Chain A
Amino acid sequence: MRVSVPIVGAALLLTGGAAAGLRGQTPTTFIVESPTMTTGTFMPRDYSPDGRNLSPPLSWRGLPVGTRQLAVISQDYGAGRPPPWVHWIIYNIPASAQGLPEGIPFDPDHPMPTEITGAIQGNNGWGLAAYRGPAPPAGSVHHYHFAVFALDEELDLPPGLDRGELLQAIDGHVIGQGDMVTLYERQPMNELLR
């Protein structure tokens, strides 16, 4: 399915152009959503260190035919030297998964949820194989992308990949890509009441 060039161009821009499609073909786009977040709005604080810092739930639909596996990168293009700052990497996601549940374990001794058995978390910008949510400087609003890649092959990637290594590994295998963007601004602790 062909899509308009500006949309695909923006999607490739989000990955720095590193995740090329299959045999030079332009990846298709698909929908990425969340039951608890809305694109273009502020994410709940429980997905940040102002709250429980859980990984947010994601869902996707309209995956391209031939999708055999998925990978997700959550990143902030307004942070990092150089940008983006990576908050989360998870890959080897089975194609049967319709999304990611909330609260993926950060302890490697805890198994992945059944629906994403086999998935592995790579190293984020802090070097942790886990999700760690937004922590922008006080008073600034940042944008957080949740980029999902549909791959044409079960790549069986090793643990511990960072963003660059993951993009290199999936290069040439991306047949589709979707993205969801949310916002966050840190909340002063003395204004958080439970």
Chain B
Amino acid sequence: MTDSKGPRPAISRRDLLRTAGAAGAAALIPDAVGGVTKESPATSARAAAGEEQAGGLLSSDTAPLLAGPLTNLTASETEILSAMVDRLIPSDKLGPGALDAGVLQYIDRALSEAESDSAEVYRSGLAALDTYSRYTRGGPFIDLSTIDQDSVLIDVQLGVATGAGVGFVGSSGSFFNMVKSHTWQGMFGDPKYGGNVNFAGWDLIDYPGVRLGVSAEDQRSLEADQLDPVRRSAYDFSLFE
């Protein structure tokens, strides 16, 4: 296997996240995941200006962060999922991570609606993740150091967290990819679906927000990295009601 020639600087997980692409990230929401658009007064002059442009619509509330077990998982399962999601997109100097962005809330809503068939996969996968951690790293996943948690998740991702008694249904990689996909959706999707609280995900990748039109000045500002983001749900625009 050969790649392009020339130096390739080492990049971290967060660097990869920042270059993931705003349009692709914002589109990662299954159509069937429903939700109610909450409305609240605009919080800034720029938002007000945007409202006029958008026809006077209001920006979305940020849904309250999850306090307690998920509806579809036990408290223990929620703890393990929380620890896993926190490693996939941790909070750091770049900004809030998945937990602060309400990813668990997104996943719980998805498991209640479009992803209801995945609830049992979550339960068995989280149990297997914990079993694998206990057998190979000497303790439950939530008690491991972040280094060991990352090491466990790498093995799960690569599909090598197998062996009689672990409990993954099929490849451990399938479980990892499912949780990763839902984490990405919850982090970067429209806040209507419960995640991307306070637009933390969109800010992380410098997504300028949903706009019904882009003026020449907007384009110049964007190219100069000076475009102020529009922080509102697409469903705040009457066009998407």
Contacts and interface: CB of A to CB of B under 8 A. Distances in A.
A165 B8 CA distance: 13
Interface in B145-202: 147-148, 150-151, 154-155, 158, 160-166
Contact of B165 (A164, A189, A194): A189
Interface stretch (B55-63, B131-139, B216-224): B131-139
What is the interface residue range for chain B against chain A? Answer: 20 to 34
Interface string A148-171: 000000000011101011000000
Contacts of B154: 53, 106, 128, 130, 132
B160 A194 contact: no
Contacts of B138: 194
A188 interface: yes
A165 B164 contact: no
A49 B11 CA distance: 25
A108 interface: yes
B124 to A, nearest CB: 15
B136 A51 contact: yes
A129 B11 CA distance: 11
A188 B163 contact: yes
Contacts of A128: 154, 158
A106 B10 contact: no
B2 A165 contact: yes
Contacts of B137: 52
Interface in B1-41: 1-3, 6-12
Contact of A160 (B3, B151, B160): B3
A146 to B, nearest CB: 19
A52 B136 contact: yes
Contacts of A187: 163
Contacts of A108: 10-12
B226 to A, nearest CB: 30
Contacts of B165: 188-191
B89 to A, nearest CB: 15
A63 B166 CA distance: 44
B136 A158 contact: no
A138 B162 CA distance: 9
Given A158-B6, A159-B10, 19 more contacts: A50-B163, A51-B136, A53-B155, A106-B154, A108-B10, A108-B11, A109-B12, A132-B155, A135-B160, A158-B7, A162-B2, A162-B3, A164-B1, A165-B2, A165-B3, A189-B163, A189-B165, A189-B166, A190-B164
Interface of B: 1-3, 6-12, 131-132, 134-138, 147-148, 150-151, 154-155, 158, 160-166
